[in-house]
Structure 1
Amino acid sequence: MSKEDVKKNVTGQEAPNPVTIVGYTNEFSVQPGQDLHFMIDTGSSVYTANVVRLSGGMPDPDNSIFLPTEPVTADCAGEYPGRRQITAPGSYAELPLPENWMQSGEFSAQLWIYPTVPVYDSIQTVWSARSADGISGAALALETDGRLALSLTGGCGQSVIVRTDSPLKENIWYSVVLQYAASTQAAKLCVTSRDGWKADDGLQVHTAAANLDYSSVALARVLLAADSDPAAPGRTIHHYNGKIGNPRFWGELLPEELLPEVLVGTDGNSIVPLADYDFSIDIASTRLEDLSAGGYHGTLHQGGTRAVTSHNWNGEHLDYRHAPKQYAAVHFHDDDLVDAEWEIDISWKIPDDLPSGIYALKLEAEGSVDFIPFFVRPLQGTVTAPVLFLAPTNTYLAYGNERLFKFAKDYLGEDYVLPSQDVYLDEHPELGNSIYDLHNDGSGVQFSSRLRPLLNIRPHYRNWRAVRHFSADLYITGWLEKRGQNYDVATDEDLHHEGVHLLSPYKVLITGSHPEYWTRPMMKALEQYLANGGRIMYLGGNGFYWVTSLDPDRPSLLEVRRGNSGSRASDSPPGELFHSTTGESGGLWRHHGYVPQRLVGVGTSALGGGSATGYQRLDDSFKPEADFIFDGIGENEIIGDFGHAAGGAAGDEIDRYDLSFGTPPHTLRLATSTGHDDNYQFVHEDQLHTAPGQGGTANPLVRADMTYFDIHGGGAVFSVGSVNWAGSLGWNNYNNNVVRISDNVLNKLLL
């Protein structure tokens, strides 16, 4: 789909209400007394900002202007001058080599490179060393035709380029040696592949005469995977896609007889390197260890994936901690983004008396409205209500800025109108991806950051599938507001850091509609909470699914490695399943012993879209112990055959009761969905082989089950097994049988 197709929503219609102002906060979760900062970008000369409480979901998702909000008195409210903020994606490393490194006129370097897309629409800089003006120095880069080129520029402006005769191939490791010597007035570039025994991948040596004067060149920046921008000092350009491993640098010319051994990595230290980087050390960090006496330790910026296989990986170890020397590489991408690094525009100290809840900074500029959401929790160690709503912020972050709308034309009718937020995202690729997208080199995205505008985490956003995630979860809190139920709000990040201590004081824990991404500390906390007699209303589907990590040093950064099973957007490459930030093995929680059925009675069964259905009551619903749940519900009444999400309470991603997966034997299977069409396909992980009849009504396991079971000690678990339950709560102004059942259960659990 072209950009113009996206902008015109497939139908030729212009998107309504174009986005003219966006922003983000430094935190998702805040508490009274804490400072919250907002970073805002707009082309408008002036905009207004106000704080609002989000008191419910969209009454009419087709007309999102009518959003239930309550004004909040805030000293940060007012009119502000607009300005543009700059976002510079692309991961790179900074290596603080001495500024006089090149001044003797003799220098050498060796590094391993693994280009993932050598033929590209722009230059990709593998390594650069530049003076303050960005002109003098050297650079090793892939040209647009895939050829590797060494360019050298002396202090007086003399320059020379040495390049390979043929392009490098993708996904092959190459060893590269580059050097210059004023004594010989020659520049040399040597390249060989790891599989150099192959006829067409043998050693290539390229030289060029060069009389360059480096005596006055003072290096300001030495970079991997980027070049310095001479027009904007401190900025980087021409980012590289691919892996780089263990660069070494010498302040002299390497003897000719050593070059073969240096190229294959078996020598080079007989002449002591000025800097000798070992990327296998401290893989969880952004630090790049220099083994030399100089200690010129480097730093990664804007990401770069570690715990990736290097040139010497032999497949014997899949956990990088068992063979770190085989993981001495970093995978760089030109679209990585860890922090947009915008400047602060508005700050607000959360008032001491502000109730816990979901809030937003409402921005208005030139007829455009944006909401920057944030979650106010009680002071740590205190509670203000018997109910806790746990906002699934890990899920929000995992899907943050997902660009699957580019495939909307393949799934939807010609009358579909793309949301303005998605139009804006398509026009601004610099805002980064979700972990459902692919990098520009085709590799799967493994990290997502909240330190950037996230256009689909908005109360007035409806994507190409349905009302989903954050905007859908507002129907859950809207239901609590409508019934006058006091509740506190906390986030996944809060639970990750505080564990069961966060949950223990609450009588009832209520999940969001799609609590898919849970960390190990969160799973342990939930397990302990239930073991202690906790009570949970799992009002969603496809929950507790992916092994997820939050970077201990940068909790704004979420990591997910898909592995090779489950319904996923990409595969983990061989040997790259373990999370770099925590060392955990990625993939599905069920393969690590946390099977959702054991925790909450149901687990993921099928994924679908388009349409949804309601639930039919089953025999267990008529047992005396289930009477309280169905008080006011007719014997043959269909539950939730309506809703703001695809027209039904059972849909999108659905979970089933299954004793073979550990559903507690005393669990009541109360109701089930029927009539799902063939868009709903049985999950991959439950199939041992492919066969007809795996989807829709042909497969009796494609269903959403509503369940309930008691826990020793007074606890209980109620599960609905569907992402779409939330969308039905808000139907008919919260007056429907989905609300009635939810009310009945919550009333019981609060006793």
Structure 2
Amino acid sequence: MNEQSAAASSVTIVGYADEFSVQPGQDINFMIDTASQVYTANVVKLCGGMPDPDHSTEVPTKLIPADCAGEYRGRRQTTLAGSYAELALLPEWLQDGVFSVQMWIYPTIPKYDNEQTIWSACSMDCTDYARLSITKDGKLAFSLGAADGKSASVVAERPLLAKEWYFVAVQYSAQNEAVMLFSHRCSGWSQVKELEFHTKKASIDYSSTVTEHVLLAADTDPAAKGRTRYHYNGKISNPRFFGKYFNEHQLSGFAAGRISAADQIDTIADYDFSKDISSTKLWDKSSGGYHGVLRQGGVRGVTSYNWTGEQVDYRLAPEQYAAVHFHDDDVADAGWEVDITWKIPLNLESGTYALQLEADGFVDYIPFYVRPTRGCATAPVLYLAPTNTYLAYANERLFKLAQDYLDDDYVLPAQDVYLDEHAELGSSIYDLHSDGFGVQFSSRLRPIMNFRPNYRNWRAVRHFPADLYITGWLERNGHRYDSVTDEDLHSEGIELLRPYKVIITGSHPEYWTRPMMKALEQYLAEGGRLMYLGGNGFYWVTSLDPDRPYLLEVRRGNAGSRSSDSPPGELFHSTTGEPGGIWRHYGYVPQRLVGVGTTALGGGTASGYKRLEDSFHPAAQFIFEGIGEDEIIGDFGYASGGAAGDEVDRYDLGFGTPQHTLRLATSVALDDNYQFVHEDLLNTMPNQGGSTHPLVRADMTYFDIEGGGAVFSTGSINWAGSLAWNEYDNNVARITENVLKHLLIKENPASTVNSGKI
């Protein structure tokens, strides 16, 4: 592969919108960052995907008259990554000149490139401060200072161990002129008792100190008002603040969980992280009620120092989940200011649109969907944009690990070069945090560099750019359709689906919430028709935060084809309480729902389909009208050269494929780049690749449902990539057109029969 910097052009402007979908009459806000002095903005309709993605990233668009179009003055916007907590202690809490701050910590990467702050307090100008941190070589350090220039610090002798729990306390007494640091490792075997108790003589004058910020997992940046720095990677559990100085014996008792009523008399704040785990609020159970709030994320529903392993659902033992896992690369909201606002015209048709930006020769797009007004369907067909998938993959950085898939002359897209240079834009749930833990949250309130119509994924044309081939086909053939997003379906359920005769999915509808699954199931039961034009669908249990719907949560669990494991005891989603993992373990088996389910993952190559016996059944004749008996279907395409590829699904009666389902076609041949999914393996075995394993295949299926419903499934992500080949004049497009026309006009599809397949 060529040097990654050798992109075709450099990104000069980026941005994001505050919503994925908007209704006519609503405002949509755009946040823009550019170093260019001026830029231009236009609204365009995206009329299809890249016609020649191997040679050009141009996309077909239609200019939309918009009062927001024009030239704008450029400005810089800043994203401040790193989760932390703000604690609302009284500004005068240090003035008595005595305090003790205690908590449990679980550092995940104590030896790091920079200092990490566990707890900090400072005045407005940061001249008065107190700070507990981890030095670059992994040692605890307690530092104090005041405006008169006096300061003191205490540093532990031994470096902290990664992924072990410690009880730590830092104290100061002006009367005793003493600074103290205490730590005790309270998890894992040790050869000797790992307890450190260090004191130092110091006199710090806090008598007039007014604290502006009290933070967990970060320090206030004195050089930039409102910013934080030196973020901590790891867990913190139940910090406590006292207006008292304790001795070593008392602190050892606290570490063991022994604290008397007398000790609590001088409590300033006592935080209980086990309360309201689904929220960003950190409860102070003291009489002061100095509640805290999480900023930029932080993972809750994680095990704390007292977890026994007897419960794995935090709702059943919340006191064992009284912790927050912080990361220095968390991003929940980029927090940019609004640059452009556009009110959606009342007469604008539903579809896929974008704010097109141009600065110094580089063109960027900020996509969004215009959906119909709630309760007012405008067409018989509904396109369901898989925005949860876009969010799950948002800013994925797997291109760094993809050398085996890439040609020597591969040039990294400009968007990926930019992403590689801007860690603050966050990662996808396919990536790892700085401390090696899997990313569990993804936000749409940030620039998403791979959610662009002119982006080419390192594997192939994939996700949003590929799904534009589906909407482009609808546009080209004059089909009336509405567009909505996963978030819309999650919010509105079956009422959103009922008005439509046919629902069409995107190419990779992988991430579904329970409300979405229930709505689709009910829609089909009531006579709805589905065209599942993708693969690896309906796979991961997914949650959208009820209070922050822009935030998606996925916990991988310990099964399924995944990029990371959930740590022991941390399977349940903090935002909804749902157990994480794959849907089939919780009753929603894709084969039962849509006839096929994930069977293999691969890439680099793809194939076409060959017709099977069921394709000649009278009930399937409408599908193959105009298709030859021996004609290979989709041995071409913009995604790896074939319609059957990337991630593929199989028909399987054992997993619940309806008995009367017609298995119409199957992939010609998938090579050993494709491997059988390991959730279907009980033991490790050889010969799991496409060249030898009979279940490594993509199956095309169709079945009717009593009451008028029907499901057509292609069993492959790559179907969309072949749909647009040769300007939509091909057998993949012909089959897709045949199916849609049939489902629109046939009131009561005839029952198909069981072909006796095994």
TM-score, scaled to structure 1:
0.98
The one-letter amino acid of 1:534's match is: G
- Tell me what 1:190 maps to: 182
- Tell me what 1:635 maps to: 629
Structure 1 Cα separation of the partners of residues 540 and 716 of structure 2? 17
Structure 1 Cα separation of the partners of residues 510 and 689 of structure 2? 22
- SS of the counterpart of 2:355? strand
- SS of the counterpart of 1:610? strand
Structure 2 Cα separation of the partners of residues 235 and 120 of structure 1? 21
Written as runs of structure 1 = structure 2, the 5 A alignment for 1:538-577 is: 538-577=532-571
- Tell me what 2:427 maps to: 433
- What is the CA deviation profile of residues 511-536 of structure 1, one whole-angstrom value per residue up to 9, with x for unaligned ones? 00000000000000000000101100
- What is the CA deviation profile of residues 695-749 of structure 1, one whole-angstrom value per residue up to 9, with x for unaligned ones? 1120010000000000111110000000000000010000000000001100100
- What is the CA deviation profile of residues 205-225 of structure 1, one whole-angstrom value per residue up to 9, with x for unaligned ones? 011111111111111110000
Equivalent residue for 1:708, pick from 684, 702, 726: 702
**Structure 1 pair 172–43 and aligned structure 2 pair: CA distance change class (3 A):** same
- Tell me what 1:4 maps to: none
Structure 1 Cα separation of the partners of residues 280 and 710 of structure 2? 43
Alpha carbons 1:115, 1:242 under 8 Å: kept: yes
- SS of the counterpart of 1:315? coil
Alpha carbons 1:307, 1:327 under 8 Å: kept: yes
Is 2:394 aligned against 1:400? yes
Written as runs of structure 1 = structure 2, the 5 A alignment for 1:661-700 is: 661-700=655-694
Residue range with higher mean Cα deviation, 98-107 or 730-739: 98-107
Is 2:150 aligned against 1:162? no
Structure 1 Cα separation of the partners of residues 392 and 284 of structure 2? 34
- The structural deviation recorded for 1:12 is 7.5
- The structural deviation recorded for 1:674 is 2.4
Alpha carbons 2:572, 2:578 under 8 Å: kept: yes
- SS of the counterpart of 1:453? coil
- SS of the counterpart of 1:361? strand
Written as runs of structure 1 = structure 2, the 5 A alignment for 1:297-376 is: 297-376=291-370
**Structure 1 pair 321–676 and aligned structure 2 pair: CA distance change class (3 A):** same
- Tell me what 1:478 maps to: 472
Equivalent residue for 2:102, pick from 110, 115, 121: 110
The count of corresponding residues between Structure 1 and Structure 2 is: 743
- Tell me what 2:617 maps to: 623
Alpha carbons 2:197, 2:248 under 8 Å: kept: no
- The structural deviation recorded for 1:579 is 0.1
The one-letter amino acid of 1:504's match is: R
- Tell me what 1:76 maps to: 68
- SS of the counterpart of 2:734? helix
Alpha carbons 1:560, 1:586 under 8 Å: kept: yes
Alpha carbons 1:403, 1:434 under 8 Å: kept: yes
- Tell me what 1:261 maps to: 253
- Tell me what 1:494 maps to: 488
- What is the CA deviation profile of residues 377-404 of structure 1, one whole-angstrom value per residue up to 9, with x for unaligned ones? 0000001100000000000000000000
Equivalent residue for 1:204, pick from 196, 203, 206: 196
- Tell me what 1:522 maps to: 516
**Structure 1 pair 357–669 and aligned structure 2 pair: CA distance change class (3 A):** same
Is 2:168 aligned against 1:176? yes
The one-letter amino acid of 1:671's match is: A
Equivalent residue for 1:224, pick from 206, 213, 216: 216
Equivalent residue for 1:448, pick from 432, 437, 442: 442
- Tell me what 1:139 maps to: 131
Structure 2 Cα separation of the partners of residues 584 and 409 of structure 1? 36
Aligned alpha-carbon RMSD (Å): 1.1
- The structural deviation recorded for 1:266 is 2.0
The one-letter amino acid of 2:604's match is: G
The one-letter amino acid of 2:695's match is: L
- What is the CA deviation profile of residues 424-472 of structure 1, one whole-angstrom value per residue up to 9, with x for unaligned ones? 0000010000000000000000000000000000000111100000000
Is 2:234 aligned against 1:270? no
- Tell me what 1:10 maps to: 2
- The structural deviation recorded for 1:268 is 5.6
- Tell me what 2:50 maps to: 58
- The structural deviation recorded for 1:677 is 0.7
Residue range with higher mean Cα deviation, 241-250 or 259-268: 259-268
Structure 2 Cα separation of the partners of residues 445 and 268 of structure 1? 40
- The structural deviation recorded for 1:411 is 2.8
- Tell me what 1:5 maps to: none
The one-letter amino acid of 1:53's match is: K
Structure 1 Cα separation of the partners of residues 626 and 192 of structure 2? 77
- SS of the counterpart of 2:547? coil
**Structure 1 pair 201–558 and aligned structure 2 pair: CA distance change class (3 A):** farther
Residue range with higher mean Cα deviation, 10-19 or 622-631: 10-19
- The structural deviation recorded for 1:195 is 3.5
- The structural deviation recorded for 1:64 is 3.3
Structure 1 Cα separation of the partners of residues 140 and 260 of structure 2? 22
Is 2:742 aligned against 1:748? yes
- The structural deviation recorded for 1:177 is 1.1
Structure 2 Cα separation of the partners of residues 226 and 319 of structure 1? 29
- Tell me what 1:129 maps to: 121
Alpha carbons 2:275, 2:318 under 8 Å: kept: yes
**Structure 1 pair 625–196 and aligned structure 2 pair: CA distance change class (3 A):** closer
Is 2:456 aligned against 1:457? no
Structure 2 Cα separation of the partners of residues 613 and 111 of structure 1? 57
- SS of the counterpart of 1:698? coil
- Tell me what 1:413 maps to: 407
- Tell me what 2:28 maps to: 36
The one-letter amino acid of 2:214's match is: V
- Tell me what 1:644 maps to: 638
- What is the CA deviation profile of residues 201-247 of structure 1, one whole-angstrom value per residue up to 9, with x for unaligned ones? 52110111111111111111100000001111221100000000000
Is 2:206 aligned against 1:214? yes
**Structure 1 pair 516–269 and aligned structure 2 pair: CA distance change class (3 A):** farther
- Tell me what 1:604 maps to: 598
- Tell me what 1:533 maps to: 527
- The structural deviation recorded for 1:255 is 4.6
Alpha carbons 1:195, 1:201 under 8 Å: kept: no
- The structural deviation recorded for 1:690 is 1.0
- The structural deviation recorded for 1:253 is 1.6
Structure 1 Cα separation of the partners of residues 681 and 635 of structure 2? 29
- Tell me what 2:711 maps to: 717
The one-letter amino acid of 1:246's match is: N
The one-letter amino acid of 2:673's match is: N
Equivalent residue for 1:296, pick from 285, 290, 301: 290
Alpha carbons 1:674, 1:697 under 8 Å: kept: no
Identity of aligned residues (%): 69
- Tell me what 2:721 maps to: 727
Structure 1 Cα separation of the partners of residues 301 and 632 of structure 2? 50
The one-letter amino acid of 1:433's match is: S
The one-letter amino acid of 1:443's match is: F
Alpha carbons 2:510, 2:537 under 8 Å: kept: yes
Alpha carbons 2:507, 2:717 under 8 Å: kept: yes
- The structural deviation recorded for 1:263 is 2.4
- What is the CA deviation profile of residues 56-95 of structure 1, one whole-angstrom value per residue up to 9, with x for unaligned ones? 0110002334311000000000000001001100000000
Alpha carbons 1:654, 1:721 under 8 Å: kept: yes
Is 2:502 aligned against 1:508? yes
**Structure 1 pair 247–12 and aligned structure 2 pair: CA distance change class (3 A):** closer
**Structure 1 pair 666–226 and aligned structure 2 pair: CA distance change class (3 A):** same
Alpha carbons 1:120, 1:144 under 8 Å: kept: yes
Alpha carbons 2:4, 2:417 under 8 Å: kept: no
